[in-house]
Amino acid sequence: MKLSHFNFNLPKELLAEFPAENRDESRLMVIDRQKNTIEHKMFKDVINYFDDGDVLILNNTKVFPARLYGNKEKTGARIEVFLLRELNSEQRLWDVLVDPARKIRIGNKLYFGDDDSLVAEVIDNTTSRGRTLRFLYDGSYEEFRNKLTELGETPIPKYINRDVTPEDAERYQTIYAKEEGAVAAPTAGLHFSKHLLKKLEIKGVNFAEVTLHVGLGTFNPVEVEDLSKHKMDSEELIITQKACDIVNEGKAKRKRICAVGTTSMRAIESSVSSANTLNPYEGWTNKFIFPPHDFSIANCMITNFHTPKSTLLMMISAFCGHDLMKKAYEEAIKEGYKFYSYGDAMLIL
């Protein structure tokens, strides 16, 4: 399959700027791959598709306030610094993206906060917008991290053309987020409310938690027509023995194993045994899933509606079947479903 197979016209007004008023009251499109059918529901109706012993695989990564604004020494120019990953905690080295990048060179210093209490020095170039920064801060590591949290803001996606609100800090985070380290939310999970999770639990549904720290690589545009030549950025992944036991038991009993989100799907597909069971894993993954792909663990998935030519859309095509996915997306546009991070959801059975 080629990149051009994943292009479509997405009306601007369908990109969600704000989340639904209540988490579980966004819309839900239900696709049945065997029956080749499409139904329109509310997200809270998802409970009707799961029973005792079924498994939901959740990505429990937690988004940290990764976007900072600083001023360049001498000129005072306002610079956006997007924290990608910590390279060395002792030396306070971070991989970041800077904007506007053309103004930022090795040796420059950036000052953050009204009192300039945090300073960073540019020590390397990594990509066109990427830099390595060394943060200079008088205080313990814990105080330094608290300072980053205090000065940073919720990294809602760039296409959301508005200021960050206090509400974003809560809503751009799943209610089961635990392990800090993501710079973007695993958005399919945003639809679950505490009430809905409780109802699923009472029904006997099991939850297996994995941790995939979502980086910006997930959203990097694919710039090659031949998909096999696209390289994904690596993201940190942890799959515990406990999660494996829950998933493999469900699988052995032929239950529904549902990956909640493309990040959960990529996590589990990165650590499959020769017997098609889930293995524990701790490390990094750069797995890129595109058609054709044989999925080993999950037999259904929950996901949001993705933008044209994205690696996320390619995974959905591989799981759903390309023609059915295209039909579903045409229907979603016609019916006014909201797309992307704060948008509506899809359940693929």
pLDDT-based confidence at residue 316 (cuts at 50, 70, 90) = very high
Give the CA distances from residue 233 to residues 75, 84, 186, 214, 220, in Å, rounded to whole numbers and listed in that order. Answer: 34, 11, 16, 10, 9
- What's the average model confidence in pLDDT over 166-180? 96
Residue 307 in contact with residue 325, Cβ under 8 Å? no
Which residue, among 341, 323, 343, 339, has the nearest Cα to 38 in the 3D structure?
323
What gap in Å lies between CA 143 and CA 140, rounded to an integer?
A: 5
pLDDT for the residue numbered 110: 96
Q: How many residues does the chain have?
A: 349
What gap in Å lies between CA 329 and CA 29, rounded to an integer?
A: 10
What gap in Å lies between CA 206 and CA 242, rounded to an integer?
A: 12
What gap in Å lies between CA 5 and CA 322, rounded to an integer?
A: 9
| Residue 123, helix vs strand vs coil | strand
**Three-state DSSP string of 216-268:** HHHHCCCCCCEHHHCCCCCEEEEECHHHHHHHHHHHHCCCCEEEECHHHHHHH
pLDDT-based confidence at residue 172 (cuts at 50, 70, 90) = very high
pLDDT for the residue numbered 126: 85
What letter represents residue 166's amino acid?
A: P
What gap in Å lies between CA 149 and CA 141, rounded to an integer?
A: 12
| pLDDT tens-digit series, residues 248-292 | 999 999 999 999 999 999 999 999 999 999 999 999 999 999 999
Residue 83 in contact with residue 193, Cβ under 8 Å? no
Is a pLDDT exceeding 80 seen at residue 20?
A: yes
Is a pLDDT exceeding 80 seen at residue 23?
A: yes
Is a pLDDT exceeding 90 seen at residue 304?
A: yes
Percent above pLDDT 70 for the chain:
100
Is a pLDDT exceeding 80 seen at residue 217?
A: no
b or e along 63-77 (b: 16 or more beta carbons within 10 Å of the residue's beta carbon)? bbbbbbebbbeeeee
pLDDT-based confidence at residue 205 (cuts at 50, 70, 90) = very high
What gap in Å lies between CA 4 and CA 309, rounded to an integer?
A: 7
**Where in the chain does DSSP place strands (E)?**
27-32, 37-42, 55-59, 61-63, 67-72, 78-88, 93-99, 109-112, 118-125, 130-136, 179-182, 206-212, 235-239, 257-260, 281-285, 300-304, 345-348
Look up the pTM and report it. Answer: 0.94
Percent above pLDDT 90 for the chain:
89
pLDDT-based confidence at residue 220 (cuts at 50, 70, 90) = confident
pLDDT for the residue numbered 122: 95
- What's the average model confidence in pLDDT over 323-333? 97
What letter represents residue 313's amino acid?
A: L
pLDDT for the residue numbered 343: 97
pLDDT for the residue numbered 115: 87
Residue with tokens 């966004």: 26
Is a pLDDT exceeding 90 seen at residue 215?
A: no
What gap in Å lies between CA 84 and CA 145, rounded to an integer?
A: 14
Tokens representing residue 220 in the block: 């990097």
- Residue 58, phi then psi, degrees to nearest 5: -110, 140
Q: Following DSSP, what letter does each residue of 176-205 receive, concatenated? A: T--EEEESS--GGGGG--HHHHHHHHHTT-
| pLDDT tens-digit series, residues 39-97 | 999 999 999 999 999 999 999 999 999 999 999 988 989 999 999 989 999 999 999 99
pLDDT for the residue numbered 27: 98
Long-range contacts of 138-145 (CB under 8 A, 24+ apart): 141/89, 141/90, 141/92, 144/92
